[in-house]
Amino acid sequence: MKDVVIVLWIIMAFIATSFWEAYIEGQHGGAEKQVGWKIKVGKYYLNGYHFWLWVVAYPLLLTLPLVINYSSRLLGLILIGYFLGQVIEDFLWFVVNPQWPFKHFRPDKADWFPWMKFGKKYGLPFFYVPYLIFAFLAWWFLVRG
């Protein structure tokens, strides 16, 4: 039960992030109008805002308990929460954003990241599948007893 609470706690932080990120970005998804640097990665951009949030801040905050007392099980739970949380946060951005209707959750509208397309108008953001796989692998190798 404690394991479930840890993962859900992390996911709740990502749910909160979906709200404030939607309110910050509004109709300009992918931090299109944010100030700061952008680096072109293939056809897409990595901006400073997302880099500092997803690559630096969240990992530093989530791994703080490991600094005090390392546990591979806890690392696995943190990784599960991180990868599931990112998928949930991204999806909820489309649900809670007051300036971007959910009907625009599709590759021809939300073009700031790659999609796995199912036909012309439907698909899933590409990172959803590997992140769900990473969460499963973290459970398989680090948590499953």
Pairing of strands 115-118, 38-41: unpaired
The model's pTM: 0.94
Give the count of domains, the chain.
Answer: 1
Residue 44 lies in a domain: no
**Radius of gyration of the chain from its Cα atoms, rounded to whole angstroms:** 16
Residue 50 lies in a domain: no
Q: Write the DSSP assignment of 4-66 as a string of letters.
A: HHHHHHHHHHHHHHHHHHHHHHTT-GGGTT-SS-EEEETTEEEEHHHIIIIIIIHHHHHTHHH
Residue 79 lies in a domain: yes
Tens-place pLDDT, residues 33-87: 999 999 999 999 999 999 999 999 999 999 999 999 999 999 999 999 999 999 9
Domain range for residue 82? Answer: 2-29+72-143
Residue 46 lies in a domain: no
Residue 37 lies in a domain: no
